[in-house]
Chains A and B, each alone.
Chain A
Amino acid sequence: AQSVTQLDSQVPVFEEAPVELRCNYSSSVSVYLFWYVQYPNQGLQLLLKYLSGSTLVKGINGFEAEFNKSQTSFHLRKPSVHISDTAEYFCAVVTVNTGGFKTIFGAGTRLFVKA
């Protein structure tokens, strides 16, 4: 069975500091990996995705993530955060096989950027 673990429920960080939001997954089949951001009372916005190819993926708003197959991780990073980055971040794993299309979301990490 597939699972996604976001190791930190909350991450407080000062403005302009770097940040890493951790995501680990387990799956017996090939996966696609996604990071979404959710601002209060809004839906999910895609930050970046890994489907194939280069393991370092760059997304919107200066975020990037690296797919590490041996460690089954897909950590999200940003070298310098802004107050506006305060939001909930969800890691998601997608499998597509004969059993169908399945998405599993992590529990979310609340990023709180302080001035």
Chain B
Amino acid sequence: GAVVSQHPSRVICKSGTSVKIECRSLDFQATTMFWYRQFPKKSLMLMATSNEGSKATYEQGVEKDKFLINHASLTLSTLTVTSAHPEDSSFYICSARGDSGSYRREQYFGPGTRLTVT
């Protein structure tokens, strides 16, 4: 199956700093990427959807100035948490989808990034 990687897998940062998380599709072209946030023992909450070369579409209640998403190429999307605070601590998961064949009908998930803001 298709492979999606995330980097870093874990990050600890101080309150007020910014953190960038990378999501890469390794063996297909990801025309659409999704960013999710998962709270402990909860389901995935979609934060935003990004199409390559376009601005991301944010879900209601998600601050676009705080969670900056860039999808500059067909294999890379980044999520930057700006001026992070302890309440931003969470598990962030990206997924990617292509535009042909089976890549069009399902999402391929990255392994997730554990962000801890101290």
Contacts and interface: CB of A to CB of B under 8 A. Distances in A.
Interface residues of A, number: 21
Contacts of A36: 109
Contact of A90 (B41, B43, B91, B95): B43
Contacts of A32: 105-106
B111 to A, nearest CB: 4
A74 to B, nearest CB: 14
A46 B91 contact: no
Contacts of A43: 6, 93, 109-112
A94 B91 contact: no
A51 B105 contact: yes
B19 to A, nearest CB: 18
Given A34-B106, A101-B97, 5 more contacts: A42-B112, A90-B44, A94-B105, A94-B106, A107-B42
